[in-house]
Amino acid sequence: MATPDPIRVLLADDHEIVRDGLARLLEGAEGIEVAGTAGDGAEAVAATVALGPDVVLMDLAMPVVDGVAATRRIVAEAPAVRVVVLTSFGDNTRILDALNAGARGYLLKDADGEEVVRAVRAAARDEAPLDPRVARAVLAHGRAGGALDGMTAREREVLGLVGAGLPNKVIARRLEISEATVKAHLTRVFRQIGVADRTQAALWAREHGLAPR
């Protein structure tokens, strides 16, 4: 039986010591070879197009072009390539930005070597390797999306104005409704998004882009 082709990986990270460590790790794993390396996002895009790897391990904080923008360009120019983010950033905004840009997976740099190898193999199989902490953030975002879907346009408007720091009296005047109606909307909204008070609701509104800028 013919031996399957190795999984070819491109390493994109602006720290040479990280690239070297990853290269040693992956070259020591059966069925994986390092196709090339890149020190910034622009190099990562160019190397991906030139070398045609199966998987790109992509850092996010890189010079010239950051990892999110590089991922977006790779997905557009080489759609068969799977990008797996490997970064120290675990905040929800970066996670969602990277996944929305087309990253297939997302690992944090405190992952052990076996996790990285498994993620490369999973991505090559067209799976979506996610660090458990990242998966929880994605799930939480999904629940937030469900909460937003369950709100009326007026409830979103009221919540957005709470996020902007306006008191009920000003919200009522701006929307030309009564304060009692504002309170009724907020009672339902608090229940929808799972918060107990106005401060938590304001933070939720800002985190989910509802507060006017």
Residues 6+ apart with CB under 8 A from 73: 45, 65
Q: What is the mean pLDDT of residues 131-147?
A: 68
User: Hey, what amino acid is at 203?
Assistant: L
Burial category of 92 from C-beta neighbours within 10 Å (exposed 0-12, middle 13-18, buried 19 and up): middle
pLDDT at 145 exceeding the cut of 70: no
| Cα–Cα distance for residue pair 192/20, rounded to 1 Å | 48
| Domain boundaries 150-207, corresponding CATH code | 1.10.10.10
Q: What is the pLDDT of residues 16-68, one digit of tens each?
A: 999 999 999 999 999 999 999 999 999 999 999 999 999 999 999 999 999 99
* Residue 205 DSSP code: H
Q: What is the pLDDT of residues 75-106, one digit of tens each?
A: 999 999 999 999 988 777 788 788 888 898 89
C-alpha dihedral, 121 to 127 to 128 to 132, nearest 10°: -70
pLDDT at 72 exceeding the cut of 60: yes
| Cα–Cα distance for residue pair 31/90, rounded to 1 Å | 29
CB 96 within 8 A of CB 71: no
Does 7-140 carry CATH code 3.40.50.620? no
**pLDDT band, very low/low/confident/very high, at 2 (cuts 50, 70, 90):** low
Q: Which helix (H) or strand (E) holds 87?
A: strand 82-87
Name the residue among 212, 104, 86 with its Cα closest to residue 158: 212
User: What are the residue boundaries of the structural domains of the chain, listed by start?
Assistant: 7-140, 150-207
pLDDT at 1 exceeding the cut of 60: no
Predicted local distance difference test score (pLDDT) of residue 89 = 80
Predicted local distance difference test score (pLDDT) of residue 118 = 94
Give phi and psi for 100, each to the nearest 5.
-65, -25
Q: What is the pTM assigned to this prediction?
A: 0.68
pLDDT at 155 exceeding the cut of 60: yes
How many other CB atoms are found less than 10 A from the CB of residue 168? 19
The CA distances from residue 20 to 4, 110, 192, in Å, are 25, 16, 48
Predicted local distance difference test score (pLDDT) of residue 143 = 60
| Cα–Cα distance for residue pair 107/7, rounded to 1 Å | 18
Residue with tokens 């937003």: 148
Q: What is the mean pLDDT of residues 11-20?
A: 96
